[in-house]
A = this chain, B = another copy of it.
Amino acid sequence: MTEITTDQSLAMLAALAQETRLEAFRLLVAEGPDGLPAGDVARIVGVPSNTMSTHLAILERAGLIASQRSGRSIVYSARLDAMKALVLYLVQDCCKGQPGLCGEVAAMLDPASSCARPETQH
């Protein structure tokens, strides 16, 4: 996920442009690669589990989080590579107009070396 289309960016932006979802996503990012069961996310954020379920589905469809069954629970975790791709997309827009302004950031994110996930992808 180092290249990204406008449609994908649109889906990610729409997924993050909602208070409950942004909060859930930030929680999952803060929780790290181990993630958190859907129920815990709902409880911490403070919404019913079915409501959170739809939000998590939207985040997952946008590619921003991943899900994995673990016993009775479904554990969600943030996909930082997707986040990186979104940031890259936004910064590349900057570059197009003014190469000197955000060029360093784009160059840093693009090689996938300095910011890449160290462990295995799911």
Is residue A46 within 8 Å, beta carbon to beta carbon, of the partner chain?
A: no
Q: A10-B17, A17-B10 are in contact. Are A98 and B22 (CB under 8 A)?
A: no
Q: Which residue of B lies closest to A117 (CB)?
A: B101
CB atoms of B108 and A114 under 8 A apart: no
Is residue A112 within 8 Å, beta carbon to beta carbon, of the partner chain?
A: no
Interface size on A, residues (CB 8 A): 39
Determine the chain B residues whose CB is within 8 A of the CB of A87 once the complex forms. 87, 90-91, 105
Is residue A40 within 8 Å, beta carbon to beta carbon, of the partner chain?
A: no
CB distance from A90 to the nearest CB of B (A): 6
In A27-64, which residues have CB < 8 Å from any B CB? Answer: 29-33
